[in-house]
A and B are shown apart, each in its own frame.
Chain A
Amino acid sequence: DAKTTQPPSMDCAEGRAANLPCNHSTISGNEYVYWYRQIHSQGPQYIIHGLKNNETNEMASLIITEDRKSSTLILPHATLRDTAVYYCIEDNNNDMRFGAGTRLTVKP
């Protein structure tokens, strides 16, 4: 079973920041937090990952709380093409468990 908790759905206005939360209260010290997304009819796509520090890449930013029990994925300027299911996963040596994720709908 997945070890993370995410809201089932969220809406975001096009051009605004999308902030997707994730709780991972049982995460252990050597487990990374990974984010993937899945656009309809495609395989999941890797977005970003982190251990303790906040991370940023060309797709998104990842903010991890100091106690590492939760994190937030930020899409700074959401577009319609960002509509997808977003998965937050704890990963320890490739032992990943995908939950149901958050269905993000970006609206014009």
Chain B
Amino acid sequence: DVKVTQSSRYLVKRTGEKVFLECVQDMDHENMFWYRQDPGLGLRLIYFSYDVKMKEKGDIPEGYSVSREKKERFSLILESASTNQTSMYLCASSLMREQYFGPGTRLTVT
């Protein structure tokens, strides 16, 4: 089975802190994705990557950056966390089309 793991299930950070959310997949997938999920807004795509060192902006990249130094790892970075970035963050990977999601990280910024 494909396994996508995220570094934390719950995270609390202060406004202005730099935050790293890590995602690792074990199936040698080319494609990896970061979403955030908020009540009433569904899942929104932040960034995705088709290969190592490649990244593409999704619908809501502002305030975020990403890093893909190794194929299995895709990191989401909040350079200076703000309260409006309090959300559930979901990572996914895919080889062809179907995406496999991690369990999510619930980030609270105070």
Residues of A with Cβ closer than 8 Å to B?
2, 32, 34, 36, 41-46, 49, 87, 91, 94, 96-101
Residues of B with Cβ closer than 8 Å to A?
4, 31, 33, 35, 40-45, 48, 50, 59, 90, 92, 94, 97-104
Given known pairs A94-B31, A94-B94, the reply for A46 and B99 (CB within 8 Å) is: yes
Residue pair B101, A32 in contact (C-beta under 8 Å): no
Residue pair B97, A98 in contact (C-beta under 8 Å): no
How many contacts between A and B, using CB within 8 angstroms? 49
Residue pair B97, A43 in contact (C-beta under 8 Å): no
A96 touches which one: B40, B45, B102, B104 (CB < 8 A)? B45
How would you classify the secondary structure of chain A's contact residues: helix, strand, loop or mixed? loop
Given known pairs A99-B42, A100-B40, the reply for A42 and B103 (CB within 8 Å) is: yes
Complex contacts, B103 vs chain A, CB 8 Å: 42-43
